[in-house]
Amino acid sequence: MKLYHKWIYPLFCVFVAVLGVYSYVLIDLNLTLFNDELWLLARNSLVQIGYFQRELSSYIFLVLILAAFFFHLYLTKHFKKYSVKQIVIPLIFLGILSYPLLTHDFFNYMFDAKILTFYHQNPYVAKALDFPSDPWIRFMHWTHRSYPYGPTFLPISLVPSFFSFGKFILAFYLFKAVSTFFYAAGVWSLAKLNKRWAMFFATNPLVLYEGLINGHNDLIAVGLACIGIYFLVKKKEILSRIFLLLSGGIKYITLPLVILFKEKKSAVNKISLGLIIVLLGYLSVSQEIQPWYFLALLPFIAYFEDFIENINLFFAGLLFSYFPYIRFGEWDAVWKVNLKHQIVIAFLVLNVGYFLLKLSKKKFLRR
């Protein structure tokens, strides 16, 4: 058994490396990043898999998701055997060096900040289409909209944008580094409170894919929320409310966290969780089910540990819902989006069934 434990960490590092490499299979065909011959050879091989061998790519994708959940469940269960730092270090490299495999939003973040730092215009008014000659537009979707996020994210995104000096490659990896920084800060904050919470959050597959790889700014909101919860537990009320407000100022979906109480059993904490669940439900019904929105639930690991851990089945469904995208390409047909939603709903039903089974088991044991 000890030998088995000994091999888990090296295998985890290999898994993280493979996941990072695989993230480049859907690199934009217009984007080379580097002009090195070895890199171009590797890039072309990965593109061949991602764009022209989609069936193979989809199988790899599914296996990597299953592997992610295996390591997540194992490391969370055996959290005492590994240091959080030991686990987080390879994940920091994943966050910085990976390509946003499943989204184009990351490039919008870069360009929104560039509107202010490079073109010196207001991104809340100007939009990407106002700069048709800019080569970055080739990598973007949603070029017709102005800045849609809250007041917190823009100042944060200005830092990597300013220090990139208008250079795409610098902006790309600096933006990834900033996002990963808030991930590390969130993990560190949770680790100061409870090592198991930190391990659960650090290795959660939804965080790996939607936060570290795809670079959604929801990860920044969650990182700020975890810092806020840390200060709340440490009775630093003002600092706590500041960080929780900053978290809510990214996309507003984490704003209900502002009302959290330190006491776990407080009814207000249940109201906070309920409000976010209602918001997620409303967004999913009125718009589309977007997996990264559900990152907002993860800070509640500090308050409703059992509940958050037991919705991993639903989280798995959120990630598996990308199968149509990997297998068949862009979300350019209604049937693909419908299939995505069917996968999510199927896993939601399975998760509800799991909860009911667990509840009935508890009632049986009480007799």
Q: Identify the CA nearest to 186 among candidates 158, 221, 162, 142.
A: 221
pLDDT at 1: 46
- Mean pLDDT score of the chain, rounded to an integer? 93
Domain extent for 129: 2-366
Q: What is the mean pLDDT of residues 80-104?
A: 95
**pTM, whole model, 2 decimals?**
0.94
- At residue 364, the pLDDT reads 64
Q: What is the pLDDT of residue 2?
A: 56
Q: Calculate ∠ Cα 259-260-265, nearest 5°.
A: 135
28: Cβ–Cβ under 8 A, 6 or more apart, which residues?
A: 138, 139
Residue 143, helix vs strand vs coil? coil
Residue range 118-140, pLDDT digits in tens: 999 999 999 999 999 989 988 88
Mean pLDDT of 197-215: 97
Domain count along the chain: 1
pLDDT of residue 226: 97
pLDDT value at position 141?
82
Band (pLDDT 50/70/90 cuts) for residue 4 is low
**Per-residue pLDDT tens over the stretch 137-154:** 888 887 888 899 999 999
Return the pLDDT at 138.
84
Specify the higher pLDDT residue, 308 or 265.
Answer: 308
Given a cut of 80, whether residue 84 has pLDDT beyond it is yes
Q: Kindly tell me if the per-residue pLDDT of 230 is higher than 50.
A: yes
